[in-house]
């Protein structure tokens, strides 16, 4: 049963559709190693220093504390997450990454009343479709997440069709990050994969499969709206600071984004998320307040707000 605190803080139920479980890593990490392999040690160091600087600016902008340096076990982090969202009046958090499918599934299982998770294995691996089958049918994960911008091959490559067929058959959503990775995210690996319109033929070929594009397209706002116009099975995820708006050649605010979504795709295709990922911040209440304020500012009725912050996520995750 959902505890009463899930509604008390904001006057509505909240599901965070897009967060990342803060896994404990060893060694230098896959991202740094990829940068070294692609650019060499010296250039990789510069990219990582730039990333650190941008992340520091972002945290100061929002008043966020720096990520903790103390190591915690996965089990400790799971308990902290469960306590954090309960204290903040959040019903459930969906982790779109978490150190691999098996690892995340094990963590989700510790709090099935509070957590769900997505498979996030390499889409171009030889058995990607079979691994999705296993992740959903055996491990209990409820969707698939990939970062299109970091792939080296186009995401509309037909070699991925068995993966989309598996997702369609399993009736689970696909979350696909397009656009910039942010100043702290490093360079993309294929510029073509930054554009959400790359998904056009795929989304059209699998009309019963729900594709969710996060961060309002991350600088590709116009292209995302065009994709949504052509493909009713594409939804928008609101997660993150959305600071990309500052880098657009025209003025954009959160109110502008919410208003345009309502004018075009409607409240049934907007899903709330935060992109939360680390402690001591935990669940980002600041993003929730910003987005909720924008919804009220543009005059959304309560029913539409309930869909955005709870109902749509519950439907996509098979919880409705």
Strand partners, 175: 145, 212
CB atoms within 10 A of CB 247: 12
pLDDT at 3 over 60: no
- Residue 1 domain flag: no
pLDDT at 21 over 90: yes
Q: Given the structure tokens 């001591």, which residue do they identify?
A: 280
Largest CA-CA distance found in the chain, in angstroms, rounded: 53
Angstrom distances, CA of residue 245 to CA of 123, 133, 221, 308, 315: 29, 37, 9, 21, 29
Residue 97 Rama label (left phi>0; alpha psi -120 to 50; beta): beta
Average pLDDT of every residue of the chain: 91
- Residue 2 domain flag: no
Close Cβ partners of 147 (under 8 Å, ≥ 6 residues apart): 176, 177, 181
Supply the CATH number for residue 141's domain.
Answer: 3.20.20.140
Closest to 120 (Cα-Cα) out of 156, 95, 157, 155: 95
- For the chain, the residue count is 320
- Residue 194 domain flag: yes
Copy the structure tokens of residue 192. Answer: 């073509």
Strands 115-117 and 144-147: unpaired
- Residue 202 domain flag: yes
- Residue 3 domain flag: no
Q: Is residue 140 within 8 Å of residue 95, measured between CB atoms?
A: no
Mean pLDDT of 196-207: 97
Mean pLDDT of 295-302: 97
Tell me the pLDDT tens digit for each residue of 229-264.
999 999 999 999 999 999 999 999 999 999 999 999
Tell me the pLDDT tens digit for each residue of 115-160.
999 999 999 999 999 999 999 999 999 999 999 998 989 999 999 9
Please tell me what DSSP assigns to residue 190.
Answer: -
Q: Using 50, 70 and 90 to split pLDDT, how confident is the model at 287?
A: very high
Mean pLDDT of 204-208: 98
Q: What is the pLDDT of residue 232?
A: 98
Work out how many domains the chain is built from and give that number: 1
pLDDT at 284 over 50: yes
- Residue 298 domain flag: yes
pLDDT at 285 over 70: yes
- Give the alpha-carbon dihedral of 310, 313, 314, 319, to 10 degrees: -150
Rounded Cα gap, residues 61 and 290, in angstroms:
14
Map 10-50 to HEC letters. CCCCCEEEEEECCCCCCCCCHHHHHHHHHHCHHHHHHHHHH
- Residue 74 domain flag: yes
The Cα angle at residue 62 between residues 58 and 286, in degrees rounded to 5: 130
Strand partners, 146: 176
- Residue 4 domain flag: no
Q: Using 50, 70 and 90 to split pLDDT, how confident is the model at 17?
A: very high
Provide the residue range defining the domain that includes 182. 9-316
Strand partners, 20: 97
Q: Using 50, 70 and 90 to split pLDDT, how confident is the model at 2?
A: very low
Q: Is residue 175 within 8 Å of residue 145, measured between CB atoms?
A: yes
Return contacts of 190-194, CB within 8 angstroms, 24+ apart.
Answer: 190/149, 190/151, 190/152, 190/153, 190/154, 192/154, 193/148, 193/149, 193/150, 193/151, 193/154, 193/155, 194/148, 194/149, 194/220
């Amino acid at each position: 049963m959902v505890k009463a605190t899930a509604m008390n803080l904001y006057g509505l139920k909240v599901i965070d559709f897009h967060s990342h479980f803060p896994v404990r890593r060893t060694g230098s990490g896959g991202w740094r190693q990829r940068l070294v392999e692609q650019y060499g040690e010296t250039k990789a160091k510069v990219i990582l220093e730039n990333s650190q600087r941008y992340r520091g600016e972002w945290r100061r902008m929002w008043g966020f504390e720096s990520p903790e340096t103390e190591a915690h076990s996965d089990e400790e982090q799971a308990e902290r997450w469960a306590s954090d969202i309960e204290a903040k009046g959040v019903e459930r958090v969906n982790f779109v990454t978490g150190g691999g499918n098996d690892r995340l599934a094990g963590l989700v299982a510790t709090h099935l009343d509070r957590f769900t998770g997505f498979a996030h294995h390499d889409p171009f691996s030889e058995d990607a479709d079979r691994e999705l089958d296993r992740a959903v049918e055996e491990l209990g994960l409820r969707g698939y997440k990939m970062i299109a911008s970091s792939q080296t091959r186009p995401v509309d490559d037909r070699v991925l069709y068995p993966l989309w067929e598996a997702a369609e058959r399993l009736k689970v959503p696909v979350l696909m990050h397009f656009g910039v990775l942010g100043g702290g995210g490093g360079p993309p690996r294929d510029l073509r994969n930054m554009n959400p319109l790359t998904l056009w033929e795929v989304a059209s070929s699998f009309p019963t499969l729900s594709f969710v594009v996060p961060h309002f397209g991350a600088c590709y706002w116009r292209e995302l709206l065009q994709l949504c116009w052509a493909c009713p099975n594409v939804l928008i995820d609101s997660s993150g600071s959305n600071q990309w708006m500052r880098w657009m050649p025209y003025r954009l605010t959160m109110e502008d984004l919410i208003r345009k979504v309502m004018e075009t795709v409607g409240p049934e295709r907007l899903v709330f998320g935060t992109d939360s990922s680390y402690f001591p911040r935990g669940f980002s209440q600041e993003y929730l307040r910003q987005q909720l304020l924008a919804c009220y500012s543009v005059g959304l009725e309560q029913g539409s707000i309930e869909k955005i912050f709870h109902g749509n996520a519950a439907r996509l995750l098979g919880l409705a």
